[in-house]
Structure 1
Amino acid sequence: MNILIVDDDRTNLLIMAAIVRRMDDAEPVTMSNPLDAVEWLRGNEPDLILLDQMMPEMDGIDLLRRIRDDARLDTVPVVMITANTAVDIRVRALDEGCSDFLTKPVVVPEVQARLRNLLALRQSRALLRDRAALLAAEVERVTAALQRQGKELVSRLSRAAEYRDPETGAHIERMALYSRLIAEVAGCGGAFAWELMKAAPMHDIGKIGIPDMILLKPGRLTPEEMTVMRQHATIGHRILADSDIPLLRLASEIAVSHHEKFDGSGYPNRLSGTAIPLSGRIVAIADVFDALTSTRPYKRSWTLEEARAFMVENSGRHFDPSLLDAFLSRWDEVCRIHRENADELPEFTPEEA
């Protein structure tokens, strides 16, 4: 372990260096000029520092202050060596971060005992710091692994839902991108917007619990069939609720709330206004807009302008006005998402109706 010794008296330097060398695993680094010590410390971190209190150009307390101003050195033990027994000197040194004192003339066994204790303390702190760093790295690694697993689970559940839902994977991708766009423009923060994009594809996961004769029916549903179809919001919530994975909890919230309407006429709980979770209000806009502008075997796609007019007409009724304004304020981006993630389905023709 390196021990820096700073003393303008070369005889004292030689004596202290000899004492250090007689200790196990200790090597002295000697400096007679405190300014040289300051320069050396810029690129080095000793395990312990011995300072003479009375030195020209910069005394021991000034040098101690410079040492403690360096964050790299704030835990390095510093011992002040002084012939001055005045209490005020010791108090000033302690206030500046001095670890211990040695009084001249030094007693060799005392010096070695004090240095051994301080070096042992230094080693213990280093071990604790290294252990804390290792634990932090392990926690970070496990957390990242859990996040990856959660995202993979969401992806696989979304893929499973696609096999039961007549909507295309492109629809899922577009509405997820629209959702992120709305969250970002509305000032929800990048982290929330990113998580929302990952969770939004699971908004209709509950459709796996809807019978095929209703889910895949090409024509308009009867009132009784519509009642069954609307159960998918509650089913999706039950599938995803109470998870330890934050992403699944967000997906559960979206599943149960994205069919609520701002005026309280939606389902399943007839929530209104801001009582509807933010995630549900955002996904409602993204989902309806993309459903309108998507081609299906049983319907033609609306133009983007037709869909925009419908959304504006239903602002404050179906949709949160402020969130819809955020969506429409980035119209060029909306059009780009629609264009770059187009369906790979044949265009609807009247003969197919």
Structure 2
Amino acid sequence: MSEEKEKLLIVDDEVFYIDILVDLLAKKYTVSVAKNGQQALDRIENGYCPDLVLLDVLMPDMNGYEVCQLLKMHESTQDTPVIFLTVKSDVESEINGFEIGAADYISKPFSMPIVKARVETHLALARTRKRLEYEKSLLEVKIRERTQEISRTQDIAMYCMSTVVEARDNETGAHIRRTQHYIKALADRLRKHPEFAETLTPDYIDMLYKSAPLHDIGKVAVPDAILLKPGKLTPKEWEEMKKHTTYGLQALERTEVVYGSSSFLKIAKEIVYSHHERWDGTGYPEGLFGKKIPLSARLMALADCYDALISRRAYKEPFSHEEARRIVIEGRGTHFDPYIVDAFIQLESAFVSIANQFVDE
């Protein structure tokens, strides 16, 4: 099957030059002719899509510059190379033509070899550009697929690790899913707040959502006698329990040594290590206060605390939403970042919906 010929559109009001160009180019290319600018534009509107336009400058009613401008505004021909044919050879005219999108100039009367060479050159450049654009689109698809694959792998890894914690803890997988959705709801609410807009980008919120299930991963290193104790912990046992933040941080730091650092691991480490810090500095493990506590950890602190309050534990019955709400609001400016508490109040119905969607089995 022969390869389809490239299409040329010759626009000229002089039959003499049209005949010369058709004789010169028709053997190698599919040639269409228009005797004025409007006729050329009508052909384009009717679906003719040339690979190159040979355009006379001096034509009645509509000159070549006007036609070229309109071709560059049309979606199907905005990237089509236009070669001006003109008896005007002054520099100013050429500059004007290039500024409105011309690819080249050929002076009349023209040399046949020059016309053929210029046409072949600009068609070759157009083919190369189209091939590069196609290869670029293929590369973008591959990058997108690879990114999605990495994201799925990351999600699977997070799910597996959080499941390990769930298997050893009194808490459930539903707790992990609820806190994951609480923290995303809070971040989405606060992203338009001037205090947080720079940090809470869509990518950051996505990483926040994906790393949230790791918040208690350090509990896998806490002895069962403490982790699963049905009653109140002794002061010594409580000190050991609090070390789960350090154990979690150490696990993620070892991961960094092997696989290198990333924005995702940075956020995960903040959440794991600092989600029990308090706004007034009375939390653990560092006793950080205010904005010295990473934003990711401040968000997790409220999400985790609220869910712990409304959930059944071996040592307590679940609180109602109203009671949990009261306790969270009381913690505004002491336990929690005041802005995050304000966002929680605005999102009450969303928190209730999330809790109802992911109910403990």
Q: Match for residue 240 of structure 1?
A: 252
Which residue number in structure 2 is paired with residue 51 of structure 1? 55
Q: Which residue of 2 aligns with 1:288?
A: 305
Q: How big is the shift at 1:259? A: 0.6
Q: Which residue of 2 aligns with 1:307?
A: 324
> Which residue matches 1:340?
357
- 2:211 counterpart (193, 199, 202): 199
Between stretches 42-51 and 153-162, larger displacement belongs to 42-51
RMSD of aligned residue pairs (Cα, Å): 2.0
Could you tell me how far 1:191 is from its partner in structure 2? 4.8
1: CA distance between counterparts of 2:149 and 2:38?
Answer: 50
Note if contact 1:257-1:276 (Cα within 8 Å) is conserved in structure 2.
yes
Q: Quick one: structure 1 residues 269 and 126, their matched pair in 2 at CA, closer, same or farther if it must change by over 3 Å? A: same
Aligned partner of residue 297 in structure 1, secondary structure: coil
State the secondary structure of the residue aligned to 2:105.
strand
TM-score, scaled to structure 2 = 0.88
2:230 equivalent to 1:227: no
Partner of residue 30, structure 1: 33
- Identify if the C-alpha distance between structure 1 residues 30 and 180 changes in structure 2 by more than 3 Å, giving closer, same or farther: same
Counterpart AA for 1:330: L
Q: After superposition, what is the alpha-carbon deviation per residue over 1:264-300, rounded to whole angstroms, capped at 9, x for unaligned?
A: 1111121111111111111111111111111123211
Among all aligned residue pairs of Structure 1 and Structure 2, give the percentage whose two residues are the same amino acid.
Answer: 37
CA deviations over 1:98-150 (Å, ceiling 9, x no partner) = 22222222222221122112222222222222222222222222112111111
Superposed displacement of residue 220, structure 1: 1.6
Shift of 1:70: 3.7
Q: Does 1:125 align with 2:142?
A: no
Corresponding residue pairs, total: 342
**Structure 2: gaps (5+ residues):** 1-5, 192-199
Going from structure 1 to structure 2, the CA distance change for 1:124 and 1:211 (only over 3 Å counts) comes to same
User: What secondary structure sits across from 1:282 in the alignment?
Assistant: helix
SS for the counterpart of 1:179 is helix
Name the aligned partner's letter for residue 32 of structure 1.
K
- AA matched with 1:300: E
**Structure 1 segments unaligned to the other structure (5+ residues):** 345-353
Whether contact under 8 Å (1:181, 1:193) holds in the other structure is no
- The code of the aligned residue for 1:278 comes to L
Match of 1:113 in 2: 117
What amino acid maps onto 1:210 in structure 2? V
1:148 lines up with 2:165 in the alignment: no
Aligned residue for 1:73, secondary structure, equals coil
| Cα drift, residue 81 of structure 1 | 0.9
Q: Aligned pair 1:16/2:33, yes or no?
A: no
Give, as a single letter, the amino acid of the residue that structure 2 aligns with 1:238: Q
Alpha-carbon distance in 1 for matches of 2:48, 2:165: 60
> Scaled by the length of structure 1, what TM-score is found?
0.90
CA separation of 1:189 and 1:65: change in aligned 2, threshold 3 A = same
| Aligned equivalent of 2:294 | 277
Contact 1:183 1:192 in 2 (8 A): no
1:68-108 Cα offsets, whole Å, 9 max, x none, are: 23465344221111123344322322222222222222222
